[in-house]
Structure 1
């Protein structure tokens, strides 16, 4: 009788890179692992490698694989083979589903981009408290008009794979939510462009069609993101294993830890090290491959 296969390591090539059996064999050799079979999800791009769990600790397996791919433009996501298809997706917006930090883009309108971006970077690294940093930055935006924000929205670019991730999961019955420490003035149009079911974010006070520099209480921060995931999960009577969360900043860590699969996407070092999974090179479709989707199953 064959041994049970407990873990699957999904390898995804970064942009411009390709995968083959020789590459996988080399990584496994460096990690001192032997696979129990492979399943190609997309030729030259993504493959599931099944690993016997007997005698292996999950953390040790993950560390070995991460070390083995450290010098390659490859991502590897390790997880148990059971319940890979998730029924709930909760995603951060700035630098995750979109390629910008909206508060920095707003600061550009008042000539304070570099100053505000420095605060944003420290907040996302967890070096300063999120709520205080948010209020400090928003205070500098007083006077920015809704007309200026409408123009700014046309410059917001989606992260490659964002639409495919959300639309494919929706097509297979999952519920999707954009949960951001950013602002509803951005999350609502972005959520509509990508195809999310709902969005939660902070509200900026507006008087006479211009920002006052005030964030309307309560501020949606790290704990609110985690709580949103729990509320959405419980409302659908889902297990923790059935949930997927993705983000890049320190204010996403609690949410990532609460999810069945929490993925740090091109994240700050502290976040990438603490999260159970990370994607540093591939686009957002890596999260579909991690769930066992084949390329031909993607919704466009």
Structure 2
């Protein structure tokens, strides 16, 4: 079978039942028997097609057949599933928060900053000037507050640690690539087990934020450049790469990856991405590569 559709639901809310499998199988040409990756949570459905498959169009059609069922799906060539390079956004992807919004709360301007963040992530305003504007509002805040924010407010996205550690255990290079700040990506990348992290540097003077960020700012184009650089460093084909994110500054990276995934993404990003996760946790990216739950590194 040349292609495979992977159905995935959230581990805490299994929804990949016989009815869901049958609804998808009925729309696939020359479909084979479903292969269970995790009971009730993930299955592969292999299929063959005598003509080229428009994966995006087929995925949209299959989602229509699953309307109302909390199941995500991936359509791929079977031989191209396993990835050897993984890049991930941090804020609202690998963690549940936007770090700059939480810092802004410490100076009483969270609502204002969060509104700017939301517009930037939706692609309504340019990322770089929006970041400078928000960082300026942090001027004078003690840099030590970062440790407090990480300890009290930052939560890892479910499935993220298992995703990173399983991929690394199978020879994949992993990079956390964020438009956020090194003060956060350093600890977060260590907690999740990434090989490296790249992000922006907040200027600190006398132990307090100076209200500036070091230039050049790591944004949309820098994330794409990181993917291209790492792909070349390891001699990989485009199809061997995986990228995930939620905001407009992730679009170039997502678009260039062999499998580009929008995670709980803004509408513009979800529409543009080749695949998306709306219901499952981050282990969906392992099932999409054909891993079974028994293969996971906890």
Query: What is the TM-score of this pair, normalised by structure 2?
Result: 0.96
- Encode CA deviations 1:25-58: one digit per residue, 9 max, x unaligned: 02444x4756222211001110011122224432
Q: For 1:100-111, list aligned pairs within 5 A.
A: 100-111=97-108
- How many residue pairs are counted as aligned between the two chains? 295
Q: Which SS does the other structure have where 2:90 is aligned?
A: coil
Q: Which SS does the other structure have where 2:2 is aligned?
A: strand
| 2:115 paired with 1:118 | yes
Deviation at 1:61, TM superposition (A): 1.3
Q: Which SS does the other structure have where 2:179 is aligned?
A: strand
Q: For 1:47-196, list aligned pairs within 5 A.
A: 47-55=43-51, 56-154=53-151, 155-196=153-194
Q: Which SS does the other structure have where 1:188 is aligned?
A: helix
Deviation at 1:13, TM superposition (A): 1.2
Task: Report if the CA contact (8 A) 1:161-1:283 is conserved.
Answer: yes
Q: 1:69 to 1:34 in 2, by over 3 A?
A: farther
1:44 paired residue number: 40
- Encode CA deviations 1:241-287: one digit per residue, 9 max, x unaligned: 11000000000000001100000000001100100000000000000
Superposition RMSD in Å: 1.3
CA distance in 2, matches of 1:11, 1:86: 18
Which residue, out of 271, 286, 289, partners 1:288? 286
CA distance in 2, matches of 1:225, 1:6: 31
| 2:18 paired with 1:10 | no
Deviation at 1:147, TM superposition (A): 1.8
Where does structure 2 lack aligned partners over 5 or more consecutive residues?
A: none
Which 4+ residue blocks in structure 1 deviate beyond 3 angstroms?
31-34
